[in-house]
Amino acid sequence: MKHSIQTRLTVAFIGLTALILLAIWAINNWLLEDYYIQDKIKILEEGYTKIDQMLQEEPLSEMEPYSEDSDADELSKLLKDLGEQYNTTIVLVDSVTGKTAVSSARDQQFLARRVQGYVFGRTGGPSELVRKHQNYIVQRTYNPVERTADLEAWGFFSDNTTLFIMSTPLSSVWDSVNLSNRFLAIVGIVAMIVGSLVIYVITRKITSPIMGLAKLSEEMGHLNFDVKYEGQQQDEVGILGKNMNALSDKLKETIGELQEANKQLQKDINEKIQIDEMRKEFIANVSHELKTPIALIQGYAEGLSEGMCEDGESRDYYCGVIVDEATKMNRMVKQLLNLTALEFGNDEAVKETFDLTAVIEGILSSSSILFQQKEAQVNFEPQHEVMVLADEFKVEEVITNYLSNALNHLSGERKINIYMKEEAERVKVVVFNTGEWIPDEDLPKLWTKFYKVDKARTREYGGSGIGLSIVKAIMDSHHQEYGAQNVKDGVEFWFTLEKAQKENGIVTDKR
């Protein structure tokens, strides 16, 4: 990643290291020489002070000549230490005699002449004044031929008779600066490379779990809450990972609850819309079904009241129409009340064990006159009793509605076949009639209140479209199946019932 934390930390470390190395190089290059010179000046000044104190206690004329044996006297020891530790050469000259009395330099005469030349105004080469004191000065001298420079202090001690010169070379300073810069460059480059590798590894270890958290947050943004942070760190990143896992679980739970609530809300809205549509449809259907009989009753009643039927036969006809239409209205209202009771659970099924074969035979026997009027051939060949567990009255109503529906749509050979199929735990009852097929798209709609495939033809026999809705409500209350299908030469309507259990050959009612 172009702007990752790992890259930025690595670049920042390299830049900081390079800046530090550059700063050290600049300090070495421009300030180290001055610092070195100031340190040398301090050494020369301290040497002057110590020697001056010794000369105040013991004049130079009474001192022993300089000896390389450091234990000879205190002055010899001091001069030796200055020479060995600080590479400083010192020459003391008696200004009265002009002879060198004490010296730590091998070339005593050269330094003696040099200091005497300074006293008499002979510079002996380029020089630069560095510091001036009451009895002596400190200066920097240059040798253009050999390209060297020295730091010198020369003048008199406080006794005003002892002349001195102290000299220390400065060429070592330049060599030290150059050597220090080269060594710093080598060490700095190595340190930068090694440090960069170390910081890269360390930042990678730090940023790797952060990248894991970033991917986790991305998955959470896509509502994928199954991805979890698996790091085991005990630091701030580990705590953040655990908190994000807890947040993921909470979001998953909350979103799940919201989805369920949304589904339930949508379901309730759909149910409300459906109920409103059903209410509107119900009112429209009831109004439509009642409009015709009410109009007929009103028309024939007005005819009677206006004396249009003077003969008895006409009056009987008018009164018959009024009674017939009123009967249809009464039957439809009863069916609606029955259907409403079933749908709202106010008319619960009372299950009992009974012989289904006997029930079907009884219905066929009581409806024989209708079969004769419709010229229908009804076939039912029972072989034995079939014991079922259901509400006998409601099962009779289902079979009656199926038979009425078959009679009303009978055509062709005008046959009605009733038969039963026994299965392991249930019985399937089928009512077949010859006639025209029902369009496939209308089969699922048959169980809707007031739905009629052919409204004009339905009016001929006075159907209201409620019978099959009652069948649906009864079967739902029994938790059984029902349906209709087109078959060869006609249509089949069917439903199922629970078989009564047998123990030791005796039918039992297990509820």
Candidate CATH numbers 3.30.450.20, 1.10.10.1100, 3.30.565.10, 3.40.50.620; the one for domain 348-508? 3.30.565.10
Domain locations in the chain?
Answer: 31-169, 224-347, 348-508
- pTM exceeds 0.85: no
User: Each residue's pLDDT tens digit in the chain (511 positions)?
Assistant: 556 676 777 788 788 888 888 888 787 777 777 888 888 899 999 999 998 888 888 777 777 666 665 555 777 788 888 888 888 888 888 777 766 777 777 677 777 788 878 887 776 678 888 899 988 999 988 877 767 788 889 999 988 888 898 888 887 676 777 777 788 788 888 887 888 888 878 877 777 777 777 777 777 777 777 777 667 776 777 777 778 788 888 887 888 888 888 988 988 898 888 777 766 666 666 665 666 677 777 777 777 777 766 677 777 777 877 777 777 677 667 666 666 666 665 566 678 999 999 999 988 888 888 888 888 899 998 768 889 999 888 888 888 888 888 888 888 889 999 999 988 889 999 999 998 888 888 888 888 766 665 544 444 545 556 778 888 888 888 889 999 999 888 999 999 999 887 654 445 554 4
Q: Give pLDDT, residue 189.
A: 85
Nearest to 245 by CA among 271, 225, 262, 218: 225
- Domain covering 224-347 in this structure, CATH number: 1.10.287.130
Same topology between domain 224-347 and domain 348-508: no
Q: In terms of DSSP bridges, do strands 426-434 and 127-132 run parallel, antiparallel, or are they unpaired?
A: unpaired
Q: Give pLDDT, residue 506.
A: 47
Q: Give pLDDT, residue 116.
A: 78
Amino acid in the structure at residue 50: K
- With residues binned 3-state (H G I as helix, E B as strand, rest as coil), the percentages for the chain, rounded to 5, are 55, 20, 25
C-alpha to C-alpha distance for 160 and 94, rounded to whole angstroms: 10
Residue 121, both tokens:
């105004």
C-alpha to C-alpha distance for 250 and 97, rounded to whole angstroms: 105
Nearest to 376 by CA among 342, 418, 346, 348: 418
Q: Can you list the positions of beta strands (E) in 316-359? A: 352-355
DSSP at 170: S
Distance between first and last Cα of the chain: 71
C-alpha to C-alpha distance for 426 and 424, rounded to whole angstroms: 6
C-alpha to C-alpha distance for 386 and 491, rounded to whole angstroms: 24
C-alpha to C-alpha distance for 285 and 455, rounded to whole angstroms: 12
8 Å CB contact between 249 and 225: yes
Q: Give pLDDT, residue 379.
A: 92
8 Å CB contact between 140 and 150: yes
